[in-house]
Amino acid sequence: MSSSGGSISSPNPDHGTSSLLMQQQREKMVGFLAMSLEAISQTKSLDEVENTALQLAEHATDPVEKTVLKDLVSRLAEFKEVIPSSLSTIETSRGVESSVDQVKKDMEARLLHRKRQLSSLEIEVSRLGEEDMKLEAEIQQLSARKAVIVDQRTLQEKELDKANQEAAKELEELMKQCDESRQAVENRMRAKERLAQSNTSWKLFKDNLGW
């Protein structure tokens, strides 16, 4: 519409729509910044955070805000790798620790059984040895009996040796499981530390943006 005073310019609808979209993206980003990185990762929203930050950075007019958003976009690539990996390591470590605890209990029960078996075998070997020495004095009359006892003693010594070897292997396995448990704890602590460092960096972005 025109008048004697000249034409009146109409508002640009595209500009208004763009501003509204950016405001919506900004509000969405504020929501993300209020969340922890773990929560964002668990809801599989890291890509959405990256896209939102990228759009805000492209349309930001404040130089400081634009710089912070660009830095955030670059760091999100690291977050997308570190956060899921750290969460997975923590979860895996918990499972390993639980499994190792059960294995340790089972191994301790088996070792106790072996200890009793070894004690019984040692007593039997000792008894047969004493009987062998007594029979030595009666070698002429009891040579046949002596041979039987010697054979029995040899068999028991083999069983004792076998039991000792098995017990040594089981002890080695228990030590290995304990080492794995300690390693799992160390992995979990390192993962928690990386997660805490990432969250500290993440909070700095929120503080720097002032949202």
pLDDT of residue 8 exceeding 60? no
Please, what is the average pLDDT of the chain?
Answer: 84
Residues 89-125, buried b or exposed e (16+ Cβ, 10 A)?
Answer: bbeebeebeeebeebeeebeeeeeebeeebeebeebb
Residue 148: band (very low, low, confident or very high) from pLDDT cuts 50, 70, 90: confident
Per the structure, the count of domains in the chain is: 1
Does residue 204 belong to any structural domain of this protein?
A: no
Domain that holds residue 117: 98-197
Does residue 144 belong to any structural domain of this protein?
A: yes
Does residue 182 belong to any structural domain of this protein?
A: yes
Does residue 176 belong to any structural domain of this protein?
A: yes
C-alpha pair distances (Å), 196 with each of 3, 164, 182: 66, 48, 21
The pLDDT assigned to 187 comes to 92
The pLDDT assigned to 93 comes to 81
| 3-state percent breakdown (helix, strand, coil) of the chain, nearest 5 | 90, 0, 10
CA distance 177 to 152: 37
Alpha carbon 199 to its chain centroid, in Å, reads 18
Does residue 133 belong to any structural domain of this protein?
A: yes
Residue 16: band (very low, low, confident or very high) from pLDDT cuts 50, 70, 90: low
Among the listed residues 52, 83, 44, the one whose alpha carbon sits nearest the alpha carbon of residue 69: 52
Helix axes 63-136 and 139-209, enclosed angle (nearest 10): 170
The pLDDT assigned to 85 comes to 87
- Supply the pTM of this predicted model: 0.40
- The mean-pLDDT minimum among 9-13, 110-114, 115-119, 159-163 falls in 9-13
Contact between 104 and 178 under an 8 Å Cβ cutoff? The reply is yes
The pLDDT assigned to 2 comes to 37
CA distance 103 to 157: 30
The pLDDT assigned to 14 comes to 53
pLDDT of residue 47 exceeding 50? yes
| Encoded amino acid at 76, one letter | L
Does residue 103 belong to any structural domain of this protein?
A: yes
Among the listed residues 188, 4, 160, 207, the one whose alpha carbon sits nearest the alpha carbon of residue 92: 188
Beta bridge partners of 6: 3
